[in-house]
Amino acid sequence: MAKPIDVKITPTVDVTEVSKRPRKSFYKKHEEMILGSLSMIIAIAIWEAFWQAGKISPLFLSGPSAIAKRFWEDMLHGTLLDDLRYSGTNFLLGLIGAIAAGVVVGIIVGWYKRISMIAGPFLNALYATPRVAMVPLIIIWFGIDYKSKVFIVFISAFFPVLVNTVGGMRAIDRDLLRAARAFCASDWQIFKTVAIPGAVPFILTGVRQGVALGLIGVVVGEMFGGSQGIGFMVAYGGQTFATDTLFVGVIIIAFAGIVLTALAEKLEARFSEWRPER
Residue range at the interface with other proteins (CB under 8 A); choices 4-12, 57-65, 192-200, 223-231:
192-200
User: Closest approach of Cβ 162 to other proteins, in Å?
Assistant: 22
Q: How many residues bind other proteins (CB under 8 A)?
A: 22
191 counts as binding other proteins under rule CB under 8 A: no
Angstrom distances, CA of residue 46 to CA of 36, 107, 236, 255: 16, 52, 28, 21
Compute the distance between CA of residue 101 and CA of residue 162 in angstroms, rounded to an integer.
Answer: 8
Residues contacting residue 89 through CB under 8 Å, at least 6 positions apart: 146
Q: Which of 4, 121, 130, 276 binds other proteins (CB under 8 A)?
A: 276
- Is 195 exposed, middle or buried (CB count within 10 Å of its CB: 0-12, 13-18, 19+)? buried
Q: Which of residues 101-130 bind other proteins (CB under 8 A)?
A: none
* Main-chain phi, psi angles of 10, to 5 degrees: -105, 120
Contact letters for other proteins, residues 236-275 (x by CB under 8 A)? -------------------------------------xxx
Separation CA 163–CA 272 (nearest Å)? 19
Contacts of 86 (CB under 8 A, 6+ apart): 146, 228, 229
Pick 17 or 175: Cβ nearer other proteins: 175
Shorter beta-carbon distance to other proteins: residue 17 or 277: 277
The alpha carbon dihedral of 35, 38, 42, 44 has a sign of positive
For residue 179, state whether it binds other proteins (rule: CB under 8 A).
yes
Q: Which is nearer to other proteins, 30 or 192 (CB)?
A: 192
d(CA 135, CA 151): 9
> Closest CB to other proteins among 93 and 185?
185
What DSSP designation does 2 have? Answer: P
Residue 171 makes contact with other proteins by CB under 8 A: no
Asked whether the beta carbons of 231 and 84 are under 8 A apart, the reply is no
Question: Based on CB atoms, which residue is closest to other proteins, 134 or 200?
Answer: 200
- The reply on whether position 54 binds other proteins by CB under 8 A is no
CB of 184 to other proteins, least distance (A): 5
CB of 267 to other proteins, least distance (A): 15
Binder among 24, 55, 197, 241 for other proteins (CB under 8 A): 197
Pick one of 178, 227, 266, 269: the residue that binds other proteins (CB under 8 A): 178
Task: Tell me if 195 contacts other proteins by CB under 8 A.
Answer: no
Q: Is 188 in the site for other proteins (CB under 8 A)?
A: no
First to last CA, the chain: 57
3-class SS string, 215-244? HHHHHHHHHCCCCCCHHHHHHHHHHCCCHH
Among 88, 97, 198, 257, contact with other proteins (rule: CB under 8 A): 198
Note the residues at the interface with other proteins (CB under 8 A).
173, 175-176, 178-185, 189, 193-194, 197-198, 200, 273-277
